[in-house]
Amino acid sequence: MSIPLADLVTILPECLVVLAACVLFVLDPVMPASKKDFLAWMCVGTLVVCFFITAAGMGEKTFAFSNLVVVDSYASFWKLLLYVVSGMTILLSIGYLKEERIDLAEFYGFIMLSLTGMMIMVSGSDLLVIYLGIELMSISLYIMCGFKRFEAKSIEASAKYFILGAFSSGLLLYGISLIFGAAGSTQLVEIAAAVNARGLDDPLVLIAMMLIIVGFAFKVAAVPFHMWTPDVYQGAPTTVTAFMAVASKAASFAAFLRVLLEGFGGVKPNWSGLILGMCILTLILGNIVAIVQTNIKRMLAYSSIAHAGYALIGVVVAGWMGTGAGVASAGVSSIMLYLAIYSFMTMGAFAMVAILRRGGLEGEELDDFTGLAKRHKGAAFLMMLFMISLAGIPPTAGFIGKFYLFMAAVNAGLTWLAVVGLVFAAVSAFYYLRVVMVMYMREPSSEQELETRLALSPTAMVVLAFAVAGVVFLGVYPGPLVSIATSSALPLP
C-alpha cells in the first residue's frame, strides 16, 4: 500500500508545518541558548513558504485521501489567515517569552502543532479528520496555556481549559459516534444524505446534531458554553491568549460552518434557530459583562465572546429560512471577513498588553493603562486605534466587518437582529472607550510616571505594524479582502 503522491502534495503546507515542528523539537535541546531565536525564525520562514504555496493554489478544489481532506478556496482563505496570525504570534512571543523568562523554543513548536491542527480542521471534510484537528489544536493549546509553569494562575488556566476542553470534546465525539450510527459514515457528504433522508425525527440525528453544535459552540466561546474563556484568557501567557482568541476561534468557526452547512444543510432552519438564540445571548452577555471588568485580558476575553456573537449573526444568516443562496453565502463571506479583521485588531490589542508588561508585574490591569498617553504617546495611540476598531467605529476596519455582517442580516430579513447587534455595538463603545479614557484622561501615578520601559522588541514592532496596517488599510480600502472573501465563501447547495 502506498500513499499517492498527489495526496501528499495537496497537504504540502500541513506537512511542512509539522516538519518544522519536528525539526524544532529535535534541534531545541542541542542548540545553544543564544541561538534559540533562530528556531523562531525558521518557523516564520516555514509559514511564509506555506503562505505562498496556499495562495498559489487558491481557487482550486482538490480532494485527497479518499475524500477525507478537501482543499478548496474556503479552506485556503482560512489557512492564509491562520498563517498570518501564527506568524504574528511567533514574532510577538520572541520578545515576550524572554520578558517572562520562559524562553523555551518548544513554545514555537507547539504553536506550529496547534496550527497544524487548525489547518486540518479547516480542510477536513470528514468528521474524523475534523475531530483529530480539533484535538491536535486543543492539546497543544492546553500545554501552551500552562507555559508559565511557575505561576499558579497559568497552570490553573491550563487545568481548567484542559478539563472543560476534554469534556466538550467528549460531547462532540459522542455526537460523532451517534451520527456515524445514523449515516454509516463520518463523511460530511454522506452525513448530509442521511440527514436529508431521515430528518430530525430520528433521535440519533437530533442528539448527534445537538452534541456537535455544543462541542463547536464551546470552541468558539458562544454563550452558554463560554464560561472557560475569561478564566483561561486571563491566566494564560498573553501571546497564547492572543493566539487562542484569534486563531483557534477562526479555525473553530471555519469548521463549525463547514459541518453545519455541508453536513447538516438539510435541517438549516432548525439549527439556525438555535444558533440565533445563542447569538443573542452571546451578544448580551459578552457586551454587558465586559463593562464591569477591571482586568484588561478578561475584558478582552468578554469582548472576544461578544465578537463571537457578531460572527454568529453570519451563521444564522447562512442558515436562515427562505434566504436565497446569494444572501446565505453573503452570510458566510461576512463571517470570513469579520474574523479576518477581528484577527488584526485583537492581535494588536493583545500585543499592546504583552508589551506593557512591567518588570515582574503584568501590565494587564486596567489601572496599568492609566495615563499611558503621558508616558508612551505612540503606545497609547495604537491602543486607541485598536479599541476604536474593536468598537466598530469608522474609518477603521472594525466598522467594515460589522457593516457587512449587519448588512447580511438585513438582507436576510433579519433586520431586528441587526438592530440588536447595533445596540450592543453601541454598548461596546462604552468599555472600549473606557480604556481610551483611562489612557488619555487620567494622570499617571507618580510610580507609573517613573516606569518608562516598554517591553518592546523589534519583532513586536513588526507585529504591531502589521496589526495597524490591517486595521487602517482594511478600513480605508477593504475592497480586495472583501472580494477574496466573497469568492471563497463556501459553495452552498
Residue 368 per-residue DSSP state: G
Report the residue from 406, 435, 463, 466 that binds another protein according to the rule CB under 8 A: 406
Over the window 258 to 287, marking each residue x when it contacts another protein by CB under 8 A and - when it does not, the resulting string is ------------x--xx--x---x---x--
Pairing of strands 62-64, 69-71: antiparallel
- Cis-peptide, bond into residue 32, ω within 30° of zero: no
C-alpha cell at 172: 462532540
Spatial contact of 279 and 312, defined as CB atoms under 8 Å apart: yes
Contact between 205 and another protein by CB under 8 A: the answer reads no
Pick from 37, 231, 365, 367 the residue near another protein by CB under 8 A. Answer: 231
Nearest-angstrom CA–CA distance, 173 and 130: 11
Crossing angle (nearest 10°) for helices 203-220 and 268-291: 30
Mask for 169-198, x = binds another protein (CB under 8 A) = -xx-xx-xxx-xx--xxx------------
Residue 350 C-alpha cell reads as 493583545
State the DSSP code for 445.
P
Q: Binding to another protein by residue 74, rule CB under 8 A?
A: no
Task: Give how many residues touch another protein by CB under 8 A.
Answer: 103
- Nearest distance, CB of residue 224 and another protein, angstroms: 4
168, 238, 272, 457: which one binds another protein (CB under 8 A): 168
- Contact between 207 and another protein per CB under 8 A: yes
Separation of alpha carbons 107 and 157, rounded Å:
17
Q: State the Cα–Cα distance between residues 442 and 379, nearest whole angstrom.
A: 15
Residues 437, 373: contact at Cβ < 8 Å? no
The one among 7, 25, 37, 153 contacting another protein by CB under 8 A = 153
Nearer to another protein, 41 or 374 (CB): 374
Question: Of 43, 85, 120, 214, which lies in the binding site for another protein, with binding defined by CB under 8 A?
Answer: 214
Q: Binding to another protein by residue 433, rule CB under 8 A?
A: yes
Residue 70 β-bridge partners: 63
* Rounded Cα distance, 39 and 35, in Å: 8
Q: Would you say 445 or 483 has its CB closer to another protein?
A: 483
Please identify which residue in 55, 61, 443, 445 interacts with another protein, judged by CB under 8 A: 443
- Pick 10 or 411: Cβ nearer another protein: 411
Q: How far is the CB of 309 from another protein (least distance, A)?
A: 14
